[in-house]
A and B are shown apart, each in its own frame.
Chain A
Amino acid sequence: MKPAKFNYLRPSSLEEAVHYLSEYGEDAKILSGGQSLIPLLNMRLSTPKYLIDIGRAEGLSYIQEEGESLVIGALTKHREIEKSELVKEKCPLLSEAIRWVGHEQIRNRGTVGGSIAHGDPSAELPCVLTALRGEVVIADVNGEEIVSPEDFFLTYMLTSLQPDQLVKEIRFPILKQTSGSAFVEVARRHGDFGLVEVAAVVDLSEDGSFSEVKLAIGGVNSVPTALGDVERLLVGKEPTEESYKDASVLTMEMIEPESDLHGTAEYRRELSGTMVIRALKQATIRAQGGRVM
């Protein structure tokens, strides 16, 4: 048996789950899809005294439209997002990004809440959420609070979640019908974590210049990073090779990649510049009504 001993709790509702957390939070771990936690338990990198399996908690798995947002329950599986027509229509960026999350066998069990709470800087969903300036809804026994991705992701695998809190739902802003979006990634093998990934959304004004740009990069900093300066640089400019190049140069200045087994810092920096151009180009072509394969 690989995992160390733990007490297993299986709440059947959100209320019961946050109650357990308020009692055992310091010594407990939430188990959702288990696709990141169980490997950690198997290697005994994590040895919680209590394991709170929220997998059967009712009412936490849903994808629905609410005002300007696509609201997704924490327990919603990656595969459900991948198959959802509503997501395809309202937030094609999310549909495109989700296919990069692990392999199908992983997506069949991994959840949205788990991905966000795990806070891996090269995970796809945190990058999309950051680009779109979405919201994380957090719950504890006292109620709920809404946190921006910027305040939520603190550093590698560390979020602002307190021991007695859990992620209840994620809100992804709905994209305008006229906008174009793209998610690009380079990984060593399809399904592996990305070396660099970029999420882009662009809107064009009538004269063809950028009226709005949203851009985030993952895999290079300790948290997924919104490229606000690059966005501001582009707004008002025409989508030309020159503006793409400027965006790429500024991106390379803004990031602080580190070297690891899979690539050097220099390689990641160069790649980031290239990927920003690639994402912007694809998103722009889509905003112009074209198709990109």
Chain B
Amino acid sequence: MDGVKINLKVNGQDISREVDSRLLLSDFIRESLYLTGTHIGCEHGVCGACTIHVNGDPVRSCLMLAVQADGCEVKTVESLIQENGKLNYLQQAFSDNHALQCGFCTPGFLMTVSGFLEENSKPSEDEIKKCISGNLCRCTGYSNIIKAVKQAAQTVSN
């Protein structure tokens, strides 16, 4: 039928699969690769829960077809953890600052912010606010998330 062969790298690992062309990248990641850290909230690009990196840039995985990721390098929230199993600086900053409650939005925030800090390690508060404006959190409120990003930025720039 209309199965399409795709080859991509996910969190450093080469993956080769045949997928239905209408399969969303978010569903491919969760249901074919069992990487369930990538969350799905709205499926129309508004909430940011499904944010991952494609070729180094934060994007919405619910607004991409799996076939569009053919040949790309994908990173999900599972890639953040350090090799020794400890939280990385950003995850630690979220934990230290109580920047999550239910945690549903957290993977999206982490992937948005990690891309942002790579480009701008000394962001102003206003820049931080703009950066996270595309991610919705319904429980924590944004103050602690902003604090966490500031702590993480401090760690990166030191």
CB-CB under 8 A from A10, the residues of chain B are 67
| Interface window among B19-27, B79-87, B94-102, B144-152 | B19-27
CB-CB under 8 A from A31, the residues of chain B are 65, 68
Number of interface residues of B (CB under 8 A): 32
Q: Is the interface of B mostly helix, strand, loop or mixed?
A: mixed
Inter-subunit contact B68/A34 (CB<8 Å): yes
Q: Name the contact of B58 in the complex, choosing from A43, A108, A190 (C-beta under 8 A).
A: A108
Given the known inter-chain contacts A38-B45, A42-B43, please indicate yes or no for A105 contacting B51, CB distance below 8 A: yes
Inter-subunit contact A104/B58 (CB<8 Å): yes
Inter-subunit contact A104/B22 (CB<8 Å): no
Inter-subunit contact B57/A108 (CB<8 Å): yes
The closest CB in chain A to the CB of B20 belongs to A1
Inter-subunit contact A189/B24 (CB<8 Å): no
CB-CB under 8 A from B107, the residues of chain A are none
Inter-subunit contact A2/B67 (CB<8 Å): no
Inter-subunit contact B27/A1 (CB<8 Å): yes
Inter-subunit contact A109/B2 (CB<8 Å): no
Interface residues on A, range: 20 to 34
Inter-subunit contact B21/A191 (CB<8 Å): no
CA distance in complex: A126, B22 (Å): 30
Indicate with 1 or 0, residue by residue over A90-108, a CB within 8 angstroms of chain B CB atoms: 0000000000001111101
Given the known inter-chain contacts A38-B65, A55-B68, A106-B45, please indicate yes or no for A2 contacting B59, CB distance below 8 A: no
CB-CB under 8 A from B27, the residues of chain A are 1
Given the known inter-chain contacts A38-B63, A109-B63, please indicate yes or no for A5 contacting B22, CB distance below 8 A: yes
User: Any chain A CB within 8 A of the CB of B133?
Assistant: yes
User: Any chain B CB within 8 A of the CB of A239?
Assistant: no
Give the distance to chain A from B29, nearest Cβ to Cβ, in Å: 14
CB-CB under 8 A from B54, the residues of chain A are 108
Q: Which of A78-132 contact B (CB under 8 A)?
A: 79, 102-106, 108-109
User: Any chain B CB within 8 A of the CB of A39?
Assistant: yes
CA distance in complex: A1, B131 (Å): 30
Inter-subunit contact B131/A104 (CB<8 Å): yes
Indicate with 1 or 0, residue by residue over A245-258, a CB within 8 angstroms of chain B CB atoms: 00000000000000
CB-CB under 8 A from A41, the residues of chain B are 22
CB-CB under 8 A from A2, the residues of chain B are 22, 24, 43
Q: Which of B2, B20, B68, B131 is packed against the most chain A CB atoms within 10 Å? A: B68
User: Any chain B CB within 8 A of the CB of A156?
Assistant: no
Give the distance to chain A from B120, nearest Cβ to Cβ, in Å: 11
User: Any chain A CB within 8 A of the CB of B4?
Assistant: yes
CA distance in complex: A176, B48 (Å): 39
User: Any chain A CB within 8 A of the CB of B112?
Assistant: yes
Q: Which of B1-58 contact A (CB under 8 A)?
A: 2, 4, 20-24, 27, 43-45, 48, 51, 54, 57-58
Q: A7-B21, A39-B45, A106-B63 are in contact. List 11 more A-B contacts (CB 8 A).
A: A1-B27, A31-B68, A42-B44, A42-B62, A51-B21, A53-B68, A104-B134, A105-B60, A105-B112, A190-B129, A190-B130
User: Measuring CB to CB, which residues of chain A are less than 8 angstroms from any residue of chain B?
Assistant: 1-8, 10, 31, 34-35, 38-39, 41-43, 51, 53, 55, 79, 102-106, 108-109, 189-191
Would you give 8 A-B contacts (Cβ < 8 Å), ordered by A?
Answer: A3-B22, A3-B65, A4-B22, A31-B68, A34-B68, A35-B60, A38-B24, A38-B62
Counting from the closest, the 4 A-B pairs by CB-CB distance are: A103-B134, A8-B21, A39-B44, A108-B57
